[in-house]
Structure 1
Amino acid sequence: MAPREARRVRVGIIRAEYNAEITRSLERKCVETLLAHGVSAANIKRVEVPGCFEIPLAAERLAALKRFDALVALGAVIRGETHHFDLVANECARGVMDVMLRHQVPVIFEVLATYRKRDALRRAANDRFNKGIEAAEAALAAIAALRATGK
């Protein structure tokens, strides 16, 4: 997407505060990447929710406003000793998909679901492999693809 075109793009970022060390790094790299591609800082809305389970509700609210070209969901679910990991990760993914299909707006799902904290930290490191970068690039690509189809 050309920087001139990107300037008008509006992106909502929903970040889970749980596992903040990881999710804040994802958000930082996501925002840096959007800005580097020409998205105006004024067109980036950030919303913080307690955990990943609340991401779909925030995505629903933002999508219903019809103000955003794409949403980005950022979170980290790390396996513990119970079944909780599977429930949260799966329901978060399902909820985000429901929002995307219901509102016809891309919701980029960058909720890390890892077996170990070190794996999540690696995906949120301050380097070019940070998944926040990938999320921003996916959002811009999805916007361009939808615009090409007439949306």
Structure 2
Amino acid sequence: MVVIEGRFQNASSLKVAIVVARFNDLVTNKLLSGCLDCLNRHGIDIAETSDQLDIAWVPGSFELPLVSQSLAKTGRYDVLITLGAVIRGDTPHFDVVINESSKGIASVSRETGVPIIFGLLTTDTMQQALERAGVKSNLGWNYALQAIEMGSLMNSLN
């Protein structure tokens, strides 16, 4: 029997891109901070001069798939992480943004073969978003762990 799984100790060789939505940046900056902390603690160089990590900023979550696609097509990255926060309002805009973002990100990952971690918070209130971005725990850390695991797993399959 062969067991194939990602390893966390191999993170220092991974090349990672993070695509972050500016909309609801109070939340997305906290997610990014948790993500960077995790990547750094697992051996990925997060310095501004790093050749292991790139960060792209987009206006909102709707734009995440397009920029993720552009980055994935370069062939430079083992894994991408998308970070965004879509908070329900009084109109159906929430549903449109999250549906198109999630479908687009999944499609890009399948088409390019590059794993893309879906780090979009979808909450009913700002308070719920803030709790998931650091008040109670920071899901940015979890998204980075998923990226390390998937990047390592995909490298072992290739």
Which residue in the other structure is 2:151 paired with?
Answer: 143
**Matches of 2:21 and 2:96 in 1, distance apart?**
16
Question: Contact 2:19 / 2:80 at 8 angstroms: preserved in 1?
Answer: yes
Distance 1:91 1:126, change over 3 A: same
TM-score, normalising length: structure 1: 0.94
In the alignment, structure 2 segments of 5+ residues that lack a partner are 1-6
TM-score, normalising length: structure 2: 0.90
**AA paired with 1:112?**
L
| Paired positions, count | 148
Say which SS state the counterpart of residue 69 (structure 2) adopts.
Answer: helix
Q: How far apart are 1:13 and its partner, in Å?
A: 0.2
Which residue in the other structure is 2:29 paired with?
Answer: 24
User: Which aligned runs of 4 or more in structure 1 are off by greater than 6 angstroms?
Assistant: none
Which residue in the other structure is 2:15 paired with?
Answer: 10
Q: How far apart are 1:98 and its partner, in Å?
A: 0.6
User: Which of 47, 59, 84 is the equivalent residue of 2:68?
Assistant: 59
Q: How far apart are 1:144 and its partner, in Å?
A: 2.0
Distance 1:126 1:40, change over 3 A: farther
Give the percent of matched residue pairs that are identical in Structure 1 and Structure 2: 36
Which residue in the other structure is 1:46 paired with?
Answer: 55
**AA paired with 2:114?**
V
Between 37-46 and 75-84, report the one with greater CA deviation: 37-46
Distance 1:26 1:100, change over 3 A: same
Bigger relative contact order, structure 1 or 2 (CA pairs below 8 A, ≥6 apart): 2
Map 1:103-142; keep pairs closer than 5 Å.
Answer: 103-125=112-134, 129-142=137-150
In the alignment, structure 1 segments of 5+ residues that lack a partner are none
